[in-house]
Amino acid sequence: MPVFDKILIANRGEIALRVIRAAREMGIKSVAVHSTADVDAMHVRMADESVCIGPPSSTDSYLSVPALVAACEITGAQAIHPGYGFLSENAKFVQVLEDHEIAFIGPTAEHIRIMGDKITAKDTMKKLGVPCVPGSVGGVPDLDAALKVGAEIGYPVIIKATAGGGGKGMKVAQSAEDMETAFRTARAEGKLNFGNDEVYIEKYLTTPRHIEIQVFGDGKGGAVHLGERDCSLQRRHQKVFEEAPGPEIDPKTRAKIGKVCADAIAGINYTGAGTIEFLYENDEFYFIEMNTRLQVEHPVTEAIFGVDLVREQIRVAQGLPMSFTQDDLEVQGHAIEIRINAEKLPNFTPCPGTISQYHAPGGLGVRMDSALYDGYSIPPYYDSLIGKLIVHGRDRPEALARLSRALGELIVDGIDTTVPLFHALLQEPDILAGTYNIHWLERWLDENMD
Ligand code: ADP
């Protein structure tokens, strides 16, 4: 295993800064890559070196494998950190890097492949003793088979594209009458977005919370869990507010499901950070998918355990042991993250533009991960996430009070953002009490955002 003195970050925005910061603290130099639309981006300014890898379209830049490999060769970077999104869960990319002897800061191509296909992932997890949502065994080839599964497990059901992600390729059928449309739409979305029309069917849970377990493996059969995050506040299956620990999860439950997850990834010699996602209803966990990368919401876990997950990723990618054991990991307080998007309410219309003034909140227990600066022009080509505000307190009420205070300090002028949504949510008794499930936000938006 090589020892890295320079790594390339195949990403942009706040996550590129996140990785540059971890590398710098480890004495490792960083290389930023950027499209022509991102010449003035903060990650380019902050890295030790930068390479332009193509035009604005991400297909021709951040997703261009030849350009990334060439950038490593030009700069002498020995490894690539993929961040999240873009190529972070692309097994072929990881394979190409292996062929070029460039280290990938993440799991093996094989693990990404297994977990990237949701049917295979579910099957693998089931065999490893992880509880799953009841549903079809493997793929469902046609409408007749789909109706049979529906009759067996009972409606409502959800039809999911095996290659799906980011909330795409999922359709609910409330009854047998809905099945034909839902089945065809899920297949079509799978084909259109992921080039794969295979689908499977699950029981649709009506009041679950989204609880995910952060796991970390050393690639040599050693693994730990870092508790859960509750990411139930979602819009169109996309998370907007995350917290750790989960308001409904007690230490005993955490230890039990955490051990199941850590044992599962130890059983496959998993390397690096991963997240095992569950729906949680009536005190039961149901596996839905595993993400084989760092998640957007990882900072809430870092806050309550006092660890740097990116540093750990870089360590294990060099063949070094993890810097903590399960016994070292103890929950300290409560953390909340909100995702701030450049979007105009009430329709969440993307709203790129120039930032006339930016002021980040600070003070005890406040972390602002953002690549914004005064005068920065947000290009229209990429994701609308412009910042993550993370707060940490001794308990949930303190974290909520801190979030409210920090939001009051934040200034993002010149564009519309989703900040007003959070001001409003922090007035809601259900948010203050932590009593919400995955459908709460959609319902609230319907009632409050006309
Ligand atoms: P993606 O890969 O697109 O993120 P997931 O399988 O992780 O898809 O599901 C995303 C979200 O969709 C979940 O957090 C949940 O809100 C909803 N969902 C997925 N499966 C079910 C199910 N069986 N019942 C109810 N909701 C579900």
pLDDT tops 70 at residue 24: yes
Mean pLDDT, residues 273-284 taken together: 97
**Domains defined for the chain, CATH in brackets:** 6-105 (3.40.50.20), 134-203 (3.30.1490.20), 209-448 (3.30.470.20)
Q: Torsion angle, CA of 201/203/204/210, rounded to 10 degrees?
A: -100
Q: Per the structure block, which two tokens stand in for 291?
A: 């993400």
Q: What tens digit of pLDDT does each residue of 168-217 get?
A: 899 999 999 999 999 999 999 999 999 999 999 999 999 999 999 999 99
Q: How far is the CA of 210 from the centre of ligand 1 (A)?
A: 8
Length of the chain: 450
Q: Is the pLDDT of residue 434 over 70?
A: yes
Measured in Å, residue 91 CA sits from the centre of ligand 1 at 22
Lowest mean pLDDT among 78-87, 188-197, 249-258, 335-344: 188-197
Question: Which residue do the tokens 């499901």 mark?
Answer: 257
What distances in angstroms separate CA 158 from CA 116, 192, 200, 232, one per listed residue? 19, 19, 8, 17
pLDDT grade for 429, boundaries at 50, 70 and 90: very high
| Shortest-distance Cα residue to atom 15 of ligand 1 | 237
- Exposed e or buried b for every residue in 325-359, given b needs 16+ CB within 10 A? eeeebebebbbbbbbbbbbebeebeebeeebeebe
Going by DSSP bridges, is the β-strand pair 343-344/271-281 parallel, antiparallel, or unpaired?
unpaired
Q: 157 CA to middle of ligand 1, Å?
A: 12
Provide φ and ψ at 403, rounded to 5°.
Answer: -65, -45
- Atom of ligand 1 lying closest to residue 166 CA: 3
CA dihedral 41, 44, 50, 53 (to 10 degrees): -30
Question: With 90 as the cut, is the pLDDT of residue 2 above it?
Answer: no
**Residues within a 6 A CB radius of ligand 1:** 133, 158, 164-167, 170, 202-205, 210, 234, 237, 277, 279, 288-289, 438
pLDDT 10s digits, 355-388: 999 999 999 999 999 999 999 999 999 999 999 9
Is 235 noted as a catalytic residue in this protein?
A: no
For residues 290-305, give the mean pLDDT.
98
Atom 6 of ligand 1: nearest residue by CA position: 288
Q: Is the pLDDT of residue 1 over 70?
A: no
DSSP alpha helix (H) spans, 198-321: 251-267, 298-305, 309-317
Q: What is the mean pLDDT of residues 309-315?
A: 98
In the reported structure, the alpha carbon of residue 209 is separated from the centroid of ligand 1 by a whole-number distance in angstroms of 10
Taking the C-alpha atoms of residue 12 and residue 107, their distance in angstroms, rounded to an integer, is: 21
Nearest-atom index, ligand 1, CA of 204: 24
Average pLDDT over residues 315-334: 97
Q: What is the pLDDT of residue 168?
A: 87
Mean local confidence (pLDDT), 129-156: 94
Residue 257 — very low, low, confident or very high, per pLDDT cuts 50/70/90? very high
Mean pLDDT score of the chain, rounded to an integer? 96
Q: How far apart are CA 72 and CA 2, in angstroms?
A: 15
Whole-model pTM?
Answer: 0.96
> For ligand 1, what atom is nearest to the CA of residue 208?
25
Q: Which of 242, 279, 291, 297 to mutate to test the pocket of ligand 1 (most atoms within 8 A of CB)?
A: 279
- From the list 229, 293, 315, 402, the catalytic residue is 293
Atom of ligand 1 nearest to the CA of 237: 11
Ligand 1 midpoint to CA 7 (Å) = 34
Helix axes 109-116, 118-127, angle to 10 degrees: 100
Which protein residue has the closest C-alpha to ligand 1 atom 14? 210
Residue 164 vs residues 132, 169, 199, 289, 375: alpha-carbon distances, Å: 17, 5, 9, 10, 37
Q: What is the mean pLDDT of residues 312-329?
A: 97
Mean pLDDT of 52-58: 98
Calculate the CA 32 to chain-centre distance: 21
pLDDT band for position 221 (cuts 50, 70, 90): very high
Reported confidence tier of residue 38, pLDDT bands at 50, 70, 90: very high
- Of 374, 342, 352, 366, give the one whose Cα is nearest residue 40: 374
Selection from 95, 66, 94 nearest residue 81 by Cα: 94
Tell me the pLDDT band of 449, cut-offs 50, 70 and 90. Answer: confident
**Ligand 1 center to 332 CA (angstroms):** 29
For the CA of 239, the nearest atom of ligand 1: 14
Tell me which residue has its CA closest to atom 13 in ligand 1. 237
Which of 167-171, 305-309, 408-412, 422-426 is predicted least confidently? Answer: 167-171
